[in-house]
Amino acid sequence: MPTSKGRLLLLHGPNLQLLGSREPSIYGTATLADHVQRATATAQRLGYEVDSEQSDDLATLIGIVQTAGTKYAGIVLNAAAFTHFAWSLHDALKSVGLPVVEVHLSNPAAREPWRHESVIAPVAIGTVAGFGGESYVLGIEALTRHLEKQ
């Protein structure tokens, strides 16, 4: 087995454990486990290991981010609705200083006005949105390219 280039964190916010049955006309029918499996396979093909965590609880997500600096090379984050207002998550990401790729299954910019602001975007290296499960795969690819050009 080739040496791992590093470990990546896939982090998921509230209600994303409901994917598969949650508003399938917007989010599709694949489950969170399906998305994690595809993203993990992509990361492994590129030489990286992946851990995946989901929580509905903002404090839990902040705690995970606060300790991520010693474990991970970067984060692919779908903060779900926390994207639009959770400045405490923004601050935690800023403090830890890891490269973050923001991902969304849907394209929040094309949806209700309250989804148009992202408090994650200012602390992310970039955003992938609107490609369904491909957003996670593209997010992993973008993060690994960023890590390898550093």
- Applying CB under 6 A, the residues found at the interface with ligand DQA are 15, 78, 80-81, 83, 104-106, 108, 115
Identify whether 72 is a catalytic site residue. Answer: no
Q: Of 12, 35, 90, 104, which is the active-site residue?
A: 104
Q: Of 27, 48, 72, 136, which is the active-site residue?
A: 27
Our CA angle for 23, 27, 33, nearest 5°, is 110
Q: Which is nearer to ligand DQA, 74 or 108 (CB)?
A: 108
Residue 109 CB, shortest distance to ligand DQA, in Å, is 10
Identify whether 27 is a catalytic site residue. Answer: yes
Residue 86, token pair as written in the block: 């959770």
Q: Which is nearer to ligand DQA, 23 or 148 (CB)?
A: 23
Listed residue (97, 13, 15, 96) closest to 52, CA to CA: 13
Amino acid at 63: G
Angle between helices 134-149 and 32-45 (to 10 degrees): 30
Catalytic residue ranges: 27, 104
